Structure 1
């Protein structure tokens, strides 16, 4: 495996030198995400001080090429705005927090968690935010997510039907990876992560269906059916809610203002009826192949216990938290709190089931506050771009995809810590970088970057500030 990795590295260097002056950094960032999704560490990895996989080689190549172009192209200086500094401050605080307190005896090292779930996403944000961007590249991004969603949807359906010969890569259906087996977990081996990507893809499909010609509409319609089947095949309640919310938010602009309140009320009534009629079946849904329906229902009982442990830990360290990645170093002592008449010790082996509580416990009000501010700001910028009459259609679509991304991330994050699911933070920061980049030019983008050496247009004020 080491020799194979060496050959891959030499080939990558040779092709990198050849394509260094031609490749689009935005396309390289997109390729890094897709390769990381399809061919991540379960497919190929080189074990060392840090686990290296294909996507991580691509990440280093992407960032190295970005740095080289920044120094070579003096006509386009990198000028961070307040949002960029806030992102940097958040990731910097996570690094400082990871060095605080006792490290857990088992599990992921805090520094390794910071590298994979904060530092790598930061690099993705920087490249998406500061690299040259055109309408053509935004179109390619949307089409790529449609293709990715079609693949993920069909693969999830094949998983659910146990058609192993149709599942690629084969590690997805490998029984050695027993967790979530029997559900549409996809190449990320996690049904929530798979559903998160499908929510974004379904939004891209619906936008393309509305904006393309008749033949393309047929293809987009088929892709939406496949992606919707994949969402169901995850058998994850939060994924169902998040997918519905992402699609609904992308269509609010299409609904007349006077009807929106009635549409919202109707959706609420419909959801209430579904909950009353099918509530027991949904709560006792048998999901994992090796997990009974009663065991699945018991997992719901863990959530209040985890919330109690989080509350007790927060009371002792409200400002700075226990330390990023240090949760398992302290949760056992708080699971013995005598004032709660609940078997809190049952929750000891589990991560927090809420992303905000996870940040609050680990990084305190400082970290959780910055993350909340970032999430709200990214969602608001995406919404403003989508509603901007001066922005091009491709920019508006990216705004709506950002809204779908942040809504799906937060809704799924209400039920589990999505920040530790592989690749999810990479996608979140990627779309955030694209959104801020589009916002800085008020949604006005060239059709195509004709020359990589041509000076960029003058950057105007953000659309949100006008």
Structure 2
């Protein structure tokens, strides 16, 4: 059976390769359609191999074919700049990463996603398939959403239809139906993905000229709306509403006026659909007692509080991308022991997750990326409206509304569908580049004046300098440091006496552990360690209160594992002796922890940062040399619409 599947898969790949050589758009549509819809994972679950990488290689072959045919078009876009800034934010989070291995692995994955975006954008712009790409994305996801509707109302949710319609949650508080996850493993992620493309389906419906395409796109809109409903996602309902209102407001005309009918529609729809009872379960976040609250909401609140505390500890660059799971046991007061977490250990809030992982720097990088996507889409909308291309303007509106809906849904979810967002970003960039190709008579936009150009040059130069500094830092600060982190519990000297229960409550009585921490800190300098027999190559030593609140954490760093272990033993010995010498009721209990390797910065990060510095410097030079003259006036006579010369 395995041989048959392998043979069939090989034949399919050969057929796709031939099609990619003849019709390069096949590679683009197959790559995006299977990836955005998560069908790659479904295939991997069924046959054991994901077609994603072969399809990405096929798309690269298609780019080479276009290059050989002299049809390859490479254009610069503000969205590409925003994505590079975001990648630089990912790199910055690795400075002092709590889990360097996990952070570097995720950074490599993000680099592959960057390649994915560049391939998709290159194919879309070269082949001029912006509308076709949007249509394929909508058709595939609407088809899968319609399959969940059939699964619910006609098949009684039997099986999972080979992984195409999963129903992981049959019963949950306030839910009116079993919760469908489509091809995803999580119902909320599936809802956010559908919300991202629902405004695009609305744009295709509103921009269709004939009645038959309008019927098809109307069916897609209905399937997507029902698909979101079957997820029973509370955040999804809120995000869908915001996204639809945004689309109506930006679409203008009768669509904008229909916003006035929304209150009447909600009064009828919310009680009949049962959405109201589902949304009421969110009141757990404001309830004074969590005994009767929705457990999932209470757990998410607990996870988000820990993410907030992580951000407060390292607000500038965070703890490193992908480090939340590693740090969670250190920050959670329940420590996953008394009350284990029964959902995925993640922040379940995109913004808190990025703040904990990358701090303010990464949040600003995400803001730049999202701003460039919205800017490109809105600019293309304005240009298309002036040129009378209503369908393109509506497609840009769909991109804006989809991104805003995704952003609202992300208040309740962490990042999971990055490549789907990159596809929408590529659509925004392609629409913007297409608008820039229109004749000057249709789009009479003046060249930026000198002050604005100087500001742009200064911005590019600043980015080049920052990237160059990061490149030098990555190339010179890559030595491995060994760190021992020992947690010493604060306990009473009379631990067997039941009368010491009050003294054991060192967390609520908040002055005890900080006081002992200060005592340990002042008696554990480098000179103190040297006097206690610690090795000479100790780099740093410090003491701090544990995140759980009831222990003193002693950290020692050295250039070698042997030195760090010896220094840790000396530091723990000094700390316990100093606290015991106080002749108080408290002592420290604990053993020195073995040293672990910490690599502050990976040397290979110098390469992408260096490329970013060179690109920013080149753009600064190009912007500075740009001529400031306005376009030459178009010669000849422009014939107004509605009047033709004989």
Compared with structure 1, are the counterparts of its residues 461 and 373 closer, same or farther at alpha carbon in structure 2 (3 Å cutoff)?
A: farther
55, 60, 64: which one aligns with 1:58: 55
Q: 1:439 aligns with which of 432, 436, 459?
A: 432
Distance 1:217 1:229, change over 3 A: same
Q: What is the distance in 1 between the residues matched to 2:179 and 2:155?
A: 12
Q: Does 1:302 align with 2:318?
A: no
| Alpha-carbon shift at residue 327 of structure 1 (Å) | 0.8
Contact 1:205 1:224 (8 Å CA) reproduced: yes
Partner residue, 2:192? 196
User: Aligned match of 2:363 in 351, 362, 368?
Assistant: 368
Matched, 1:129 2:121: yes
- The Cα offsets for residues 272-326 of structure 1, whole Å up to 9 and x where unpaired, read as x969x975553349xxxxxxxx998222223432332122111221111111111
Q: Which structure features the higher share of strand residues?
A: 2
Describe the shift of the 1:35–1:278 C-alpha distance in structure 2 as closer, same or farther (beyond 3 A).
closer
Matches within 5 A, 1:382-393: 382-388=377-383, 389-390=385-386, 392-393=389-390
CA RMSD in angstroms, aligned pairs only? 4.5
Q: Which residues of 2 match residues 42-441 of structure 1 at below 5 A?
A: 42-44=42-44, 53-66=50-63, 68-69=64-65, 72=68, 78-95=74-91, 97=93, 101-103=97-99, 109-116=102-109, 118-131=110-123, 133=125, 137-161=129-153, 163=155, 169-172=161-164, 182-210=178-206, 211-255=208-252, 263=259, 281-284=278-281, 297-336=294-333, 350-388=345-383, 389-390=385-386, 392-417=389-414, 419-420=415-416, 424-441=417-434
State the TM-score, normalizing by the size of structure 1: 0.74
| Change beyond 3 A, Cα 1:146–1:316 | closer
Instruction: Provide structure 1 residue ranges, at least 5 long, that are not aligned to the other structure.
Output: 286-293, 447-459
- Maintained 8 Å contact 2:73/2:126: no
Provide the residue aligned with 1:454 in structure 2.
Answer: none
For this pair of structures, how many residues does the alignment match?
A: 426
> Given that residues 349 and 412 in structure 2 are in contact (C-alpha distance below 8 angstroms), is that contact kept between their aligned partners in structure 1?
yes
SS of match in other structure, 2:345: coil
**Equivalents in 1 of 2:185, 2:444: separation in Å?**
42
Q: Counterparts of 1:13-28 in structure 2 under 5 Å?
A: 14-15=14-15, 18-25=18-25, 27-28=26-27
Contact 2:34/2:40 (CA < 8 Å) preserved in 1? yes
Equivalent position of 1:41 in the other structure: 41
RCO higher in 1 or 2 (8 Å CA, sep ≥ 6)?
1
SS at match of 1:227: helix
1:338-358: per-residue Cα shift (whole Å, max 9, x none)?
9xxxx9975996211111111
Counterpart Cα distance in 2 of 1:465 and 1:54: 46
Q: CA deviation at 1:397?
A: 3.6
Q: 1:246, CA displacement in angstroms?
A: 2.5
> Take 1:175 and 1:192, find their aligned partners in 2: how far apart are those partners?
12
Write the deviation string for residues 331-375 of structure 1: whole angstroms up to 9, x where unpaired: 22222399xxxx997599621111111111111211121012211
- Greater CA radius of gyration, 1 or 2? 2
Change (3 A) 1:313 1:407: same
Structure 2: state its 5+ residue gaps: 283-290, 450-646
Distance in 2 separating the partners of 1:407 and 1:16: 35
Instruction: Give distance in 1, aligned partners of 2:280 and 2:405.
Output: 21
Query: 1: CA distance between counterparts of 2:431 and 2:168?
Result: 43
Taking structure 2 as the reference length, the TM-score comes to: 0.56
Name whichever of 391-400 and 343-352 sits farther off. Answer: 343-352
Shift of 1:12: 5.8
Is the contact made by 1:354 and 1:413 (CA closer than 8 Å) also made in structure 2? yes
Which segment is superposed worse, 37-46 or 233-242? 37-46
